């Protein structure tokens, strides 16, 4: 099935065609690690995860690269304001390096909790300064730069199609439509490639370069690292919609200035999560984290479910009522799945195995076809989720077949349904302990003790099921 994706570059839905058959180079702009990721940021990473899972489901081998910005991002994307890392370091009384490490770790923990696949390559800006300097040299050699006031700037007037991603009008830009503070810039949208004259008294992160001791502009890191790991031309680049007009526009300008060729084929952007009609923003300090949701009894996968309910190109209004709805729906899904798993076990069939005398699941395949069609239609997760529900609720389909196809769908949705059983909160502590004891007995190959524990739990109405990811359990049906 052909994957159709909306390309911000050109603003239309296009068939996805990779440069190398069956392989995908995917770059997803990563976090600036000066604070916890907020759930708006996480919505963008969730959409990118659906994209990655869809590509892999379709059989592509995906090389996903994500940067970690630990230097050079000012509070305004267009070179104004304070350095985000330094500001955080000052406020928290810790070194910038400490801040970067702490929040990177917290970020990847959040991704794990949301069942987001880890990028194949994670790269830190501070570990790629040499690559950035090399790239800037190429841009300079090709005549796209000028020095002013101690900084090296990119001259957007030299780029033939600057602003093509954001559909910016260069004539208007030249006229200085925006209020500009930096008097060194020839055109307001010119941007810094290398800073040598730091605005900050205690600039902690500095490196030697042909333009003097200093630090890179924010945009250059994504160009340098993506080119290093994915080559001078690659398939897909993603981020949130806020990156279209400045960050990604500047990434394109400088990358194409360096290489002289088209850089990325498909550009995908996730819409915002909004809070009281305002974009949820890290820099404003008013934002919700995954931990804050947990305090309200909303689990990370409830949030994942909530996000799946909206198309990635639609804005989503945050509300606790909305999240409660997602939580209830997921609990309902879990209950049905636990019941379904029980049915499959009782029938003695493996998921997907047909039990003689029962209806074959041809109709289940139809649900899967619809699911694939929807997910291939620019990642339509709300429709795909509806296909999942349609199949789950369809009583005319044989249980083992149904379960097999639901597992297939979950490869894309990532709700981790195979573990639903292990997450039941009502399990009492004693049963949990017995299951642990039995797992220990099995690890020690004391199968007699393991069997005794199973029999004991069975006597209490608990049926166990061993899977590669752990032991699941369910209560026996009454009657
Ligand atoms: P940052 O760490 O600020 O560089 O942002 C990380 C990612 O989150 C970027 O791709 C942003 O475009 C995205 N982002 C920022 N705010 C929001 C929001 N309110 N909703 C969705 N995505 C966002
Ligand atoms: Zn980037």
pLDDT score recorded for residue 363: 83
> Is the CB of 385 within 6 Å of ligand 1?
no
The CA distance from 422 to 451, in Å, is 20
pLDDT score recorded for residue 182: 79
Give the residues across from 61 on adjacent strands: 23
Atom of ligand 1 nearest to the CA of 44: 22
Q: Which residue has the tokens 């924010």?
A: 218
Give the residues across from 237 on adjacent strands: 27, 267
State the ligand closest to the CA atom of 65: 2
The CA distance from 451 to 460, in Å, is 14
Q: Is the dihedral of CA 27, 33, 38, 40 positive or negative?
A: negative
C-alpha 237 – ligand 2 centre gap (Å)? 9
Q: Give me the phi and psi of 125, to 5 degrees please.
A: -60, -45
C-alpha 247 – ligand 1 centre gap (Å)? 12
Per the CB < 8 A criterion, the answer to whether 262 and 163 are in contact is: no
pLDDT score recorded for residue 479: 47
pLDDT score recorded for residue 31: 95
Residue 147 has a CB neighbour count (10 Å cut-off) of 15
pLDDT score recorded for residue 357: 46
Q: Which residue has the tokens 């499959």?
A: 344
Atom of ligand 1 nearest to the CA of 30: 6
Residue 379 has a CB neighbour count (10 Å cut-off) of 24
Residue nearest to atom 8 of ligand 1 (CA): 41
Residue 325 has a CB neighbour count (10 Å cut-off) of 15
HEC profile for the chain?
Answer: CCCEEEECCCCEEEECCCCCCCEEEEEECCCECCCCCCHHHHHHHHHHHHHHHHHHHCCCEEEEEEEEECCCCECCCCCCCCEHHHHHHHHHCCCHHHHHHHHHHHHHHHHHHCCCCCCCEEEEHHHCHHHHHHHHHHHHHCCCEEEECCEEEECHHHCCCCCCCCCCCHHHHHCCCCCCCCCCCCCCCCEEEEECCCCCCCCCCCECCCCCCEEECHHHHHHHHHHHHHCCCEEEEEEEHHHHHHHHHHHHHHHHHHHCCCCEEEEEEECCEEECCEECCCCCCCCCCHHHHHHCCCCHHHHHHHHHCCCCCCCEECCHHHHHHHHHHHHHHHHHHHHHHHHHHHHCCCCCCCCCCCCCCHHHHHHHHHHHHHHHECCCHHHHHHHHHHHHHCCCCCHHHHHHHHHHHHHHHCCCHHHHHHHCCCCCHHHHHHHHHHHHHHHCCCHHHHHHHHHHHHHCCEEEEEECCEEEEEECCCC
C-alpha 22 – ligand 2 centre gap (Å)? 25
Residue nearest to atom 9 of ligand 1 (CA): 240
Residues contacting 83, CB < 8 A, separation 6+: 71, 72, 73, 74, 75, 200, 203
Ligand 1 pocket test: which of 165, 242, 284 has the largest number of ligand atoms within 8 Å of its C-beta?
Answer: 242
> Is the CB of 226 within 6 Å of ligand 1?
no
Residue nearest to atom 14 of ligand 1 (CA): 41
Name the burial class of residue 329, with classes exposed (0-12), middle (13-18) and buried (19+) by CB atoms within 10 angstroms of its CB. middle
Ligand 1 pocket test: which of 42, 44, 274 has the largest number of ligand atoms within 8 Å of its C-beta?
Answer: 44
C-alpha 219 – ligand 2 centre gap (Å)? 6
Q: Divide the 479 residues of the chain into consecutive groups of 10 and give the mean pLDDT of each group.
A: 97 98 98 92 98 98 96 66 77 85 95 98 96 98 95 94 88 57 86 82 81 92 98 98 95 98 98 82 73 93 98 96 96 91 80 55 88 98 98 93 96 93 56 82 87 82 81 72
State the ligand closest to the CA atom of 248: 2
State the ligand closest to the CA atom of 247: 2
What dihedral angle (degrees, nearest 10) is formed by the CA atoms of 257, 261, 263, 267?
100
Among the listed residues 257, 275, 274, 255, the one whose alpha carbon sits nearest the alpha carbon of residue 265: 255
> Is the CB of 74 within 6 Å of ligand 1?
no
The CA distance from 226 to 7, in Å, is 19
The CA distance from 16 to 316, in Å, is 26
What's the pTM value of the predicted model, to 2 decimals?
0.85
Q: Which pair of tokens denotes residue 127?
A: 């570990």
> Is the CB of 209 within 6 Å of ligand 1?
no
C-alpha 45 – ligand 1 centre gap (Å)? 9
Atom of ligand 1 nearest to the CA of 240: 12
C-alpha 46 – ligand 1 centre gap (Å)? 11
> Is the CB of 64 within 6 Å of ligand 1?
no
> Is the CB of 40 within 6 Å of ligand 1?
yes
pLDDT score recorded for residue 180: 54
In angstroms and rounded to an integer, the radius of gyration of the C-alpha atoms of the chain is 26
> Is the CB of 94 within 6 Å of ligand 1?
no
């Amino acid at each position: 099935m052909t994957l159709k994706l909306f390309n911000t570059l050109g603003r239309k839905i296009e068939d996805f065609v990779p440069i190398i058959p069956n392989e995908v180079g995917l770059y997803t702009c990563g976090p600036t690690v000066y604070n916890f990721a907020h759930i708006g940021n996480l919505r963008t990473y969730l959409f990118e995860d659906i994209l990655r899972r869809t590509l892999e489901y379709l059989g592509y081998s995906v090389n996903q690269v994500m940067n970690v910005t630990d230097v050079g991002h000012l509070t305004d994307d267009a070179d104004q304001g304070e350095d985000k890392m330094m500001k955080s370091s000052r406020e928290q009384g810790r070194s910038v390096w400490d801040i970067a490490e702490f929040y990177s770790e917290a970020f990847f923990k959040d991704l794990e909790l949301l069942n987001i696949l880890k990028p194949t390559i994670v790269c830190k800006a501070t570990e790629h300064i040499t690559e950035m300097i090399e790239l800037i040299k190429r841009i300079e050699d090709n005549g796209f730069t000028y020095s002013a006031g101690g900084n090296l700037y990119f001259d957007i007037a030299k780029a033939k199609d600057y602003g093509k991603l954001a559909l910016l009008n260069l004539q208007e830009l030249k006229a200085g439509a925006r209020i500009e503070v930096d008097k060194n810039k020839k055109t307001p949208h010119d941007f810094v490639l290398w800073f040598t004259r730091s605005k900050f008294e205690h600039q902690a992160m500095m490196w030697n370069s042909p333009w003097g001791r200093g630090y890179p502009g924010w945009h250059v890191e994504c160009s340098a690292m993506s080119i290093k790991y994915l080559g001078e031309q690659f398939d897909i680049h993603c981020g949130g919609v806020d990156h279209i007009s400045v960050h990604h526009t500047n990434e394109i300008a400088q990358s194409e200035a360096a290489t002289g060729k088209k850089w990325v084929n498909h550009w995908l952007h996730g819409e915002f999560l909004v809070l009281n009609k305002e974009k949820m923003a890290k820099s404003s300090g008013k934002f919700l984290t995954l931990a804050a949701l947990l305090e309200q009894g909303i689990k990370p996968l409830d949030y994942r479910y909530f996000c799946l309910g909206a198309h990635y190109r639609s804005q989503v209004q945050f509300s606790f009522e909305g999240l409660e709805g997602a939580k209830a729906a997921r609990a309902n899904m879990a209950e049905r799945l636990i019941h379904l798993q029980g049915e499959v076990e009782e029938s003695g069939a493996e998921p997907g195995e047909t039990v003689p005398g029962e209806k074959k699941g041809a109709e289940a395949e139809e649900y899967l076809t619809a699911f694939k069609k929807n997910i291939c239609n620019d990642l339509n997760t709300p429709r795909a989720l509806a296909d999942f529900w349609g199949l789950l609720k369809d009583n005319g389909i044989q249980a083992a077949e149904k379960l097999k196809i639901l597992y297939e769908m979950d490869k894309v949705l990532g709700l981790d349904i195979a573990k639903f059983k292990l997450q039941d909160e009502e399990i009492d502590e004693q049963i949990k302990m017995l299951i642990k004891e039995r797992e220990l007995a099995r690890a020690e190959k004391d199968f007699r003790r393991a069997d005794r524990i199973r029999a004991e739990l069975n006597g209490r109405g608990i049926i166990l099921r061993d899977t590669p990811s752990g032991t699941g359990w369910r209560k026996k049906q009454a009657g």
